[in-house]
Amino acid sequence: MPNKVDDAGPMEQDQPSVTGDMSDREGAAVDHRIVDIVLDELTVGRRSAEVEHERAVAIYDLLEENRFKPSGCGSGPYRVVLSIEDNRLIFDIGTPDGQRLDRVPLPVLPFRKTVKEYFLICESYYDAIKHAPPSRIEAIDMGRRGLHNEGSELLRERLAGRIEIDHNTARRLFTLLCVLHIRS
């Protein structure tokens, strides 16, 4: 399994932990988190080794720590299948044993520009780590992180009222959204 600190690549870097209140109004413990996440392989095309690594790290980190609270789905935990259908990101939300709870579609059009720019800067980053001086790599990495945060915040905004997620969960889900955009 990937090491979440040492193996984090350009599509997913650790950020300080941001967790929400993990109890409901009556004080009982709740489990608003994803315990299993799957990318619909029919949606995903061939991936480079770098992208496959980023996918694996994002999933590993997401399962290690996340805050995922879909509206009207109870306290969790949840199994999520991510796919893209008809230009929509689909969150199929269920119980760990497979009972379907909800299906949340999210238009991908608002993400297209950010994802495209993010792919371009990731290519620059991969090229830079092979040949560029550390100062150039650092500059590209700062821009990459900024775009990643922009995409993550857009995801949080678009899910508002339907699924509550924290910053780190949004970052990892944005990485997976990017992976789903790759076509063979």
- Contacts of 166 by beta carbon, 8 Å cutoff, 6+ apart: 18, 19, 20, 66, 67
A 10 A CB-CB count for 144 gives 20
Q: Give pLDDT, residue 30.
A: 64
In the predicted structure, residue 5 carries a pLDDT above the cut 70: no
Q: Give pLDDT, residue 8.
A: 42
Beta carbons of 65 and 168 less than 8 angstroms apart: yes
Higher pLDDT pick, 125 / 163:
163
57-82 tens-digit pLDDT: 999 999 999 999 999 888 889 999 99
- The boundaries of the domain holding residue 71 are 34-181
153-175 tens-digit pLDDT: 999 999 999 999 999 999 999 99
109-123 tens-digit pLDDT: 999 999 999 989 988
Q: Give pLDDT, residue 183.
A: 55
- Asked if residue 21 belongs to a domain, the reply is no
Q: Give pLDDT, residue 61.
A: 96
CB burial readout 61-91, b (16+ within 10 A) else e? bbeebbbbbbeebeebbbbbbbbbeeeebbb
Average pLDDT over residues 78-99: 94
- Asked if residue 13 belongs to a domain, the reply is no
Number of domains in the chain: 1
In the predicted structure, residue 181 carries a pLDDT above the cut 60: yes
Q: CB-hemisphere CA count at 13 Å for 147?
A: 23
* Amino acid found at 144: R
- Asked if residue 126 belongs to a domain, the reply is yes
Q: What is the pTM of this model?
A: 0.80
- Asked if residue 26 belongs to a domain, the reply is no
- Asked if residue 59 belongs to a domain, the reply is yes
- Asked if residue 28 belongs to a domain, the reply is no
- Mean residue pLDDT across the chain: 83
Under the banding of pLDDT at 50, 70 and 90, the label for residue 11 is: very low
How far apart CA 90 and CA 111 sit, in angstroms, is: 14
- Asked if residue 72 belongs to a domain, the reply is yes
Q: Give pLDDT, residue 44.
A: 63
38-52 tens-digit pLDDT: 998 776 666 678 778
Average pLDDT over residues 100-117: 94
- Asked if residue 115 belongs to a domain, the reply is yes
